[in-house]
Amino acid sequence: MIMTITIQQALRPLFLTCFVIGLGAYPIKQPHLRIRWVTYLSILYSLTFWSLYIYVLYYVTTVFTLQRIFFTVINFIVLMINILATITSSFVGFYYHKKFEMCMIKLDAVDNTLEQLGTPKMDKQIFMWSKQIIIGWFIYVFLMNIYNVQYYAQYISIFWALVLSGIVHYSTHVNILVDCLVVILLYVGNRFDKVHEHIKCLVGKELGMRYTWNRPIIAINKSTNNYKQVFWTTMHLYLELHRIARELNLMFGMKMTLQTASYLLYLTAFCYHMFLFIKYEYRKDLSFFDWFMICVWTSLFIIRLYIINYICDSVRYKANGINKTIDQLTHVMRYADIWEEICQFILQAIHHPLKFTGMGLFEFGQKFFWKFCITIATFVMIMIQMKVPINLTFDI
């Protein structure tokens, strides 16, 4: 007997890690069990965790000066935004905890329905991906902490270098793991693809009133005697995925907006610093390893921002592109009796397209990414023209 797992169970390693670092509720093995005291204890744990973190951070700033810890004002501002984004993400996660669980249950129901149409589940693959994400994140944190300890050890003792490396950069490392939760949105995009393929099946081939799905993605051939049932099932799946994507955007929108603001500040300051280093030949003061870590750190910011916008744009394109395929059904006489319903569905989809926005301020996507890069270049040029004085010794 083959044991099946749900989406929540497949992502449990990721959710469990988020709980340990203070970002969410403890993931129960049986999602159908609604145990309130587990959620309340998780909230208490998160409050205690972040209160202790803020206290330790405050204590460290009293032992050392802000100049010694952050080196520049911009680093301090970026850190505060990262901490705000992390804590906000934590408590927004608790606020939307029930809604998030419902999204996972609905997504699992979509998977079950697609399985009845012949599309195999990807739960085991997601389980492996979640474990790989956790392992990769731990390796990244370990390597970055080694570099930060080595950097701080030039000015203070090894013990305090370890403390500062773990405390000061903790929120930045945690936010990277939060960004990894976008894998859920990537999975929603995959389900849109499968729905799209089933709609293409309705358009592509006609075998009278009986149609057999025999595409490569299907493990076991399925057949149906009711094309209307297949059509309305796929439409229901599309609308359900549409609602899930909107709710996920609502849950993660605030965090992504704050994170984008920190990227804008940090990358603008970084580019301006690099310009001054090159112009005044301060680049000789940094070793090859320092330059390598600078490139790695900067590339990490840019890659994270690009991946988030790429996934949002990809899911949006997949969701809104189904309309063209559905419109082809109005040219098939077999579906003449449901043309009116098809047209109503198309109009509804056109007037309510899927969008991923940052608290309604802007729309994520490839266009936003390039506008973001142009904005950074504009700010750097303004700072160069104004000759903004800034301390050249800063921490990467």
pLDDT in tens, 333-353: 666 667 777 777 778 777 888
Structure tokens at 24: 């969410």
Domain ranges of the chain: 10-386
pLDDT at 254: 81
For the record, the structure tokens of 189 come out as: 């995009």
Q: Count of CB atoms within 10 A of residue 36's CB? A: 7
Q: Is 224 helix (H, G, I), strand (E, B) or coil?
A: strand
The confidence score (pLDDT) of residue 268 equals: 86
Decide: 339 and 330 in contact? Cβ < 8 Å.
yes
Work out the average pLDDT over 90-96.
84
The pLDDT of residue 210 is: 40
Predicted local confidence at residue 224, as pLDDT: 42
d(CA 178, CA 22): 11
Distance CA 394, CA 248 (A): 37
Tally of CA atoms within 13 A in the half-sphere of 277 that contains its CB: 15
Is pLDDT larger for residue 289 or for residue 234? 234
Task: Band the pLDDT of 84: cuts 50, 70, 90.
Answer: confident
Q: Cα(321)–Cα(113) distance, rounded to whole angstroms? A: 21
Angle at 281 between CA 275 and CA 283, to 5 degrees: 80
User: For residue range 170-188, what is the model confidence (pLDDT) as tens digits?
Assistant: 888 888 888 877 788 888 9
The candidate with the shortest Cα–Cα distance to 369, out of 267, 275, 254, is 267
CA distances (Å), 289 to each of 213, 270, 293, in order?
56, 17, 6
Share of the chain above pLDDT 90, in %: 11
Per-residue pLDDT band for 135 (boundaries 50, 70, 90) equals very high
**Which amino acid does the sequence have at 257?**
T
Confidence of residue 375 (pLDDT cuts 50, 70, 90): very high
Question: How deeply is 130 buried, as exposed, middle or buried, from its count of CB atoms within 10 A (0-12, 13-18, 19+)?
Answer: buried
What does the pLDDT average to over 248-265?
Answer: 84
Phi, psi at residue 222, to the nearest 5°? -120, 155
Residue 212, SS3?
strand
> Among 352, 383, 165, 362, which residue's Cα sits nearest to residue 274?
383
User: What does the pLDDT read at residue 164?
Assistant: 86
For the ranges 65-74, 161-170, 317-326, the lowest mean pLDDT is seen at 65-74
What is the reported pTM?
0.81
Tell me which of 207 and 103 has the higher pLDDT.
103
Report pLDDT for 220: 35
* Alpha-carbon dihedral sign for residues 353, 358, 359, 362: negative
Distance CA 78, CA 190 (A): 34
Using alpha carbons only, what angle is made at residue 64 by residues 58 and 68, rounded to the nearest 5 degrees?
115
CA distance linking residue 206 with residue 220, whole number of Å: 20
Please list, in sequence order, all residues whose beta carbon lies within 8 angstroms of the beta carbon of residue 207, skipping any fewer than 6 positions away.
none
Q: What share of the chain is helix, strand, coil (3-state, %, to 5)?
A: 80, 0, 20
Residue 363: strand pairing partners = 357
Residue of 289, 314, 359 whose CA lies nearest to 189: 314
Looking at the predicted structure, is the pLDDT value of residue 392 above 50?
no
Higher-pLDDT residue of 147, 34: 147
List, as one string, the DSSP characters of 294-350: HHHHHHHHHHHHHHHHHHHHHHHHHHHHHHHHHHGGGG-GGGGGGHHHHHHHHHHHH
Question: Residue 147, Cβ neighbours under 10 Å: how many?
Answer: 18
Region 322-337: what's the mean pLDDT?
Answer: 71
296 and 345 Cβ atoms separated by less than 8 Å:
no
User: Pick from 261, 255, 238: which is nearest to 354 by CA?
Assistant: 238
pLDDT at 333: 64
**The pLDDT of residue 201 is above 60:** yes
Rounded to the nearest integer, the mean pLDDT of the chain is: 79
Residue 211: pLDDT band by 50, 70, 90 thresholds? very low
Task: Give the range among 130-134, 283-287, 298-302, 379-383 with minimum mean pLDDT.
Answer: 283-287
Of 38-47, 252-261, 271-280, 282-291, the poorest mean pLDDT is in 282-291
167 contacts 53 by C-beta, under 8 angstroms: yes
Among 12-16, 189-193, 226-230, which stretch is predicted with the lowest mean pLDDT?
226-230
